[in-house]
């Protein structure tokens, strides 16, 4: 977490940015991996972890970077049992759903999740309880009960 390692994603805890692709890595246009701001509450934990434990990596074993995918899988097995239905991608779906509920700008949500606005709406649009609020108002107005002249 202190110096940007070659060939690895990196969290700049001083600057508060998570670089999700390695420096110089070619990222597929369909698998975008843009840099994102680390949320303040998580950033506070990351800084405390770095400062108290003097660790260079968020996930490490014997002072070397470890595979966070394996670490997360083991942690989920420990918490939910070995037969749980969850995968790490579940967290992305949860984040997208919560962000849709937040009412924030769809463009900002899509950018944060490194997906297009179209994909966000296609996959998560039904998660926004206010998505059809304006259309629903048509039932309350006289105009909504009359056929428009065409």
pLDDT, residue 78, reads 94
Give me 61's structure tokens: 């074993």
pTM over 0.75: no
More confident residue, 120 or 27: 120
Mean pLDDT over 32-51 rounds to 86
- Crossing angle of helices 117-124 and 89-102, in 10° steps, is 90
How many Cβ atoms sit within 10 Å of the Cβ of residue 102? 11
Give me 120's structure tokens: 């966000």
More confident residue, 134 or 52: 52
């Amino acid at each position: 977490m202190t110096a940007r390692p070659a060939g690895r994603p990196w969290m700049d805890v001083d600057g508060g940015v998570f670089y999700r692709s390695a420096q110089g890595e070619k990222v597929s246009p369909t698998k975008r991996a843009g840099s994102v701001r680390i949320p303040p509450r998580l950033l506070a934990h990351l800084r405390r972890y770095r400062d108290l434990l003097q660790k260079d990596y968020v996930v490490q074993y014997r002072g070397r970077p470890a595979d966070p995918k394996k670490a997360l899988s083991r942690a989920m097995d420990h918490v939910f049992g070995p037969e749980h239905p969850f995968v790490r991608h579940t967290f992305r779906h949860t984040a997208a759903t919560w962000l849709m509920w937040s009412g924030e700008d769809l463009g900002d949500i899509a950018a944060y999740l490194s997906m297009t606005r179209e994909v966000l709406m296609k996959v998560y649009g039904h998660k926004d309880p206010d998505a059809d609020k304006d259309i629903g108002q048509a039932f309350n107005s006289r105009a909504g009960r009359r056929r428009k002249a065409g």
